[in-house]
């Protein structure tokens, strides 16, 4: 089992930079392009540092921030990643080479506005564009996973899942082979998504916290084994702990750290990646690793 760090750091001086459409709009076109390129090169350098940190601290995975190339799919200021120049692609490919050399697995997890099951054609089109952009950067850096939630039920789960399946089939081969689906804590439990994953040939990312918030009759061991069966490579799981404990009226919000009892024991003996979704970020991953070594 390897532990994965998600997106950002709380203490390490490794920062990823973004911009807003408003700030970009204030610049003339040449300055706008220059600004975007500067941000991209800075973020490539930060990603390289993030991979080095993970490799040096026994962290086996890193989730890349969706905005690693800011505003790529913005309706007005969007751009093709390759348009930033060959040096940007070269910088990101160097990150991929380092990740491969150090065996740090890289993944993506699109933001909540990326919804392939939406009844809105506009939302689906923008979601497809976002996934394709992330797939292009994933190709540069060797990331093998783009994890997506199924989305809302919109009053009819079956219809929503049909729309999801149709949208998945619109993805290019590079995006589709990286796409995975994850259970959430409000709409879709593992038993509802795993059959669709089998149908589409899409791996299932099992989030055990979400499953505990939205149970479906499957126990953790069964859900784990069913999830593993959908993978043609190393499975990916998510773990988190409730901020106010399991007895709280709302156990969904994530805690700063992981209670080691929330990590399924059978995962420890598996070849898998477990992304640690905790607000203390690298501190939480390192604390969990220390606890596991003591146990």
The answer on pLDDT for 295 being more than 80 is no
pLDDT in tens, 269-282: 999 999 999 999 99
**How much is the average pLDDT of 175-182?**
98
The answer on pLDDT for 187 being more than 90 is yes
Q: Can you give the CATH number for the domain in which 276 is found?
A: 3.20.20.150
User: Which pLDDT belongs to residue 146?
Assistant: 98
**How much is the average pLDDT of 229-254?**
97
User: Which pLDDT belongs to residue 91?
Assistant: 98
The answer on pLDDT for 294 being more than 80 is yes
Range of the domain at 144: 2-294
**How much is the average pLDDT of 151-155?**
94
d(CA 117, CA 123): 9
pLDDT in tens, 92-133: 999 999 999 999 999 999 999 999 999 999 999 999 999 999
Kindly report the average pLDDT of the chain as a whole number.
97
Number of domains in the chain: 1
Judged by DSSP in three states, 108 sits in strand
In this structure, what token pair is assigned to residue 240?
């988190």
DSSP string, 150-211: ----TT-HHHHHHHHHHHHTTS-HHHHTTEEEE--SSS--HHHHHHHHHHHT--EEEEHHHH
User: Which pLDDT belongs to residue 77?
Assistant: 86
The answer on pLDDT for 44 being more than 90 is yes
- Decide the pairing of beta strands 105-108 and 145-149: parallel
Supply the pTM of this predicted model: 0.97
d(CA 274, CA 289): 11
The answer to whether 242 and 253 have CB atoms below 8 angstroms apart is yes
**How much is the average pLDDT of 136-159?**
97
pLDDT in tens, 190-211: 999 999 999 999 999 999 999 9
Percent of the chain exceeding pLDDT 70 equals: 100
**How much is the average pLDDT of 20-37?**
93
The answer on pLDDT for 36 being more than 90 is yes
Find the helix or strand (DSSP H, E) in which 213 lies. Answer: helix 208-213
d(CA 205, CA 145): 10
Find the helix or strand (DSSP H, E) in which 42 lies. Answer: helix 29-56
The answer on pLDDT for 167 being more than 80 is yes
The answer to whether 146 and 131 have CB atoms below 8 angstroms apart is yes
**CB neighbours (10 Å) of residue 87?**
12
d(CA 55, CA 280): 19
User: Which pLDDT belongs to residue 279?
Assistant: 98
The answer on pLDDT for 2 being more than 90 is yes
């Amino acid at each position: 089992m390897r532990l994965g760090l998600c997106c950002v750091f709380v203490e390490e001086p490794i920062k990823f930079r973004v911009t807003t459409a408003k700030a970009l709009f204030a610049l003339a076109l040449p300055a706008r392009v220059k600004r975007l390129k500067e941000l991209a090169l800075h973020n490539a350098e930060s990603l390289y540092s993030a991979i080095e940190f993970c490799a040096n601290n026994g962290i086996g995975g890193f989730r890349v921030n969706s905005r690693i190339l800011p505003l790529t799919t913005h309706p007005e200021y969007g751009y093709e990643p390759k348009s930033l120049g060959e040096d940007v692609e070269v910088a990101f490919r160097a990150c991929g080479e380092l990740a491969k050399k150090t065996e740090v697995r890289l993944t993506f997890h699109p933001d909540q506005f990326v919804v392939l099951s939406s009844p809105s054609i506009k939302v689906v089109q923008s979601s497809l564009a976002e996934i394709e952009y992330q797939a292009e950067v994933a190709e540069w850096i060797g990331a093998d996973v783009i994890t997506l939630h199924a989305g809302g039920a919109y009053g009819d789960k079956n219809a929503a899942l049909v729309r999801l399946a149709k949208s998945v089939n619109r993805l290019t081969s590079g995006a589709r082979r990286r796409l995975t689906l994850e259970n959430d804590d409000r709409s879709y439990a593992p038993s509802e998504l795993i059959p669709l994953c089998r149908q589409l040939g899409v791996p299932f990312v099992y989030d055990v916290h979400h499953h505990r918030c939205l149970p479906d009759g499957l126990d953790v061991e069964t859900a784990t084994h069913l999830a593993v069966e959908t993978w043609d490579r190393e499975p990916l799981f998510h773990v988190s702990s409730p901020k106010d404990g399991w007895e709280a009226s709302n156990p969904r919000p994530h805690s700063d750290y992981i209670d080691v009892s929330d990590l399924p024991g059978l995962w420890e003996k598996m070849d898998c990646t477990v992304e640690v979704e905790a607000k203390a970020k690298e501190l939480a991953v390192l604390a969990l690793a220390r606890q596991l070594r003591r146990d």
